[in-house]
Homo-oligomer: A and B are copies of this chain.
Amino acid sequence: MKTTVTFYAAHALCLVLGVACVVLVAHWNASYRGGFAWDGEAQQFNWHPVLMVVGLVVLYGNAAVVYRIPLTWRVSKQPWKLVHAGLLLLALIFSVLGLCAVFDFHNTNHIPNLYSLHSWVGILTVGLFAAQWAVGIGTFLLPCTPLAIRAFVKPAHVWLGGIVLVLSVVSCISGINEKLFFVLKDKANGTVPYSQLPPEAVVANSLGIIIVAFGLVVLKILSNKTWKRPEPRNEEGGYRQVSVEES
């Protein structure tokens, strides 16, 4: 009972931090960066941080903890697999759109792609995420996949799931930091420099810290053994007997 209450406290924190991430990244780009468009100009770039934070961090993190919710333990795993895979597909679509926003912006403005360390880590993150999603679908949702393969892949799937979140946080922090140095240069371009911490810098730095906090809460939820969905079992033990295909 105490474990369940602690879980829901952690899950509530995860949800609150996730909402804070979405609000802050939207507020930063809407109020300080000129809003959104898809016209090859700076307002198109602004979709990049919003889509990456919403997809690669918030949706991804919430999808990762779905199986930890005790309410889902007493029912069949199959619909929750679809929720997990569906949320991750949405996260992947947001991430790919976020990449399209920046690639198209770069191409329109003759700026090279994929030269910064942020972009190297970022593209590695999305590539790993896409591979993980495809292998996950093939392994855990296709009915024809042998159970032995599922059991073999599962530990790597769980571990890599956490690692993709870590890499997402690395990508977001380096990207927000880079963007602020780009746009808050000095009085010459009409902005207060980053080094004087204008309100925009405080908002975006706070977004970065909240992204880190969200990532740590999700990793903490994933690491807690008592919050793992119990494995199916045949003995009388409080959980209904589920078919092995569901494991």
Please tell me the number of chain A residues within 8 Å of chain B, measured between CB atoms: 37
Interface-facing stretch out of A31-39, A64-72, A89-97, A177-185 = A177-185
The distance in angstroms between the C-alpha atoms of A209 and B121, with both chains bound, is 7
The distance in angstroms between the C-alpha atoms of A209 and B166, with both chains bound, is 14
A189-222 Cβ-contact flags toward B at 8 Å (1 or 0):
0000011110001001100110010001001100
| Copies of this chain | 2
Verify if A4 is at the interface (C-beta below 8 Å from B): no
Chain A residues 123 to 169 lying within 8 A of chain B, measured CB to CB, are 124, 159, 163, 166-167, 169
Residues on B with beta carbons closer than 8 Å to the beta carbon of A212: 121, 124, 167, 170
A197 nearest CB across to chain B (Å)? 5
> Is the pair A163, B117 in contact by a Cβ cutoff of 8 Å?
no
The distance in angstroms between the C-alpha atoms of A163 and B166, with both chains bound, is 10
The distance in angstroms between the C-alpha atoms of A118 and B208, with both chains bound, is 9
The distance in angstroms between the C-alpha atoms of A208 and B174, with both chains bound, is 11
> Is the pair B116, A177 in contact by a Cβ cutoff of 8 Å?
yes
Known: A177-B117, A209-B120. A163 touches B219 (CB 8 A): yes
Q: Which residue of B lies closest to A202 (CB)?
A: B115
Verify if A20 is at the interface (C-beta below 8 Å from B): no
Known: A174-B177, A177-B177. A194 touches B120 (CB 8 A): no
Given A111-B195, A120-B208, A121-B209, 20 more A-B residue pairs with CB atoms under 8 Å apart are A112-B196, A115-B195, A117-B173, A117-B176, A117-B209, A118-B173, A120-B209, A121-B208, A124-B209, A124-B212, A163-B216, A163-B219, A166-B166, A167-B212, A169-B170, A170-B170, A173-B173, A174-B177, A177-B177, A181-B181
Chain A interfacial positions (CB closer than 8 Å to B) = 111-112, 115-118, 120-121, 124, 159, 163, 166-167, 169-170, 173-174, 176-178, 180-182, 194-197, 201, 204-205, 208-209, 212, 216, 219-220, 223
User: 14 A-B residue contacts at CB 8 Å?
Assistant: A111-B195, A116-B177, A116-B205, A117-B208, A120-B205, A120-B209, A121-B173, A121-B212, A159-B220, A163-B219, A166-B166, A166-B169, A170-B174, A178-B181
